[in-house]
Amino acid sequence: MITIKSRTEIEKMRAAGKITGDVLKVIEQHIKPGVSTAYLDKIARDYIASHGATPSFLHYNGFPAGICASPNDWVVHGIPSKDIILADGDIISIDVGACKDGYHGDAARTYPVGKISAEAQRLIDVTKQSFFEGIKYAVHGAKLGDVSAAIQEYVESNGYSVVRDLVGHGIGKNMHEDPNVPNFGHKGRGLKLASGMTLAIEPMVNAGGYEVCVLDDDWTVVTEDGSLSAHYENTILIKQGECEILTL
């Protein structure tokens, strides 16, 4: 069921979204060669707790950490570990959620580790921009397919591919709500967007093919061809005019 948030609920979503966006800024300061993804997870958990919130991902369907940390060819849902040490030239996708007063925020970024290749930086930049290309159409009265198609067109015009097996989602009292928000589709199709909807829009972009597979931990999603992958996500609020990004 798709929920339209009340004014009170939107204020709570803004509070959760601010913590979510801010924790990514804090994590970014610690991303450098020699740091473990478990250390980044601890930073996130501590920051979220210090702001009276809880990590949305921790124990969600059994997930054992507060963030997803996915380096290089890992697409999403990487489990932080003291044994995963960032190295110069890596890229790392960090996905985090915070729950405050019963409402969730969800956001992700892909960061460079030390000095990265020009091609890796271009992948990060195109993935981020594809989100902003998509949300141009995330307005009251538009069709969800308009958002999805804009993301896909921008990504593919830059020579990359959009992951098909994973999509964005509605968000609110629950981490994942209706509707699903694909990063591919056709203009003019799908759900009609309405003011008060809150969505997590999250392009996942591969440098190679769009095919992915899941590792033996039953969580970590990787590119099937071993190519690099990047991820960019924000929680947004649909409004009459331009949408509001709650996690920036």
150-183 pLDDT, tens per residue?
999 999 999 999 999 999 999 999 999 999 999 9
Structure tokens at 215: 């590792």
Structure tokens at 99: 């729950």
Residue whose tokens read 């890596």: 90
User: What does the mean pLDDT of the chain come to?
Assistant: 98
User: What letter would DSSP give residue 15?
Assistant: H
Architecture of the structural domain at 7-245: Alpha-Beta Complex (3.90)
Q: Residue 219, class by beta-carbon neighbours within 10 Å (0-12 exposed, 13-18 middle, 19+ buried)?
A: middle
242 — pLDDT class (breaks 50, 70, 90): very high
pLDDT for position 198: 98
pLDDT for position 206: 98
The C-alpha atoms of residue 181 and residue 55 are separated, in whole angstroms, by 22
Q: Residue 56, class by beta-carbon neighbours within 10 Å (0-12 exposed, 13-18 middle, 19+ buried)?
A: buried
Predicted TM-score (pTM) of this structure: 0.97
One-letter amino acid at 150 equals: A
Can you give the residue ranges of every domain in the chain?
7-245
One-letter amino acid at 180 equals: N
* Bridge-based pairing state of the strands 221-223 and 212-214: antiparallel
117 — pLDDT class (breaks 50, 70, 90): very high
The C-alpha atoms of residue 49 and residue 171 are separated, in whole angstroms, by 21
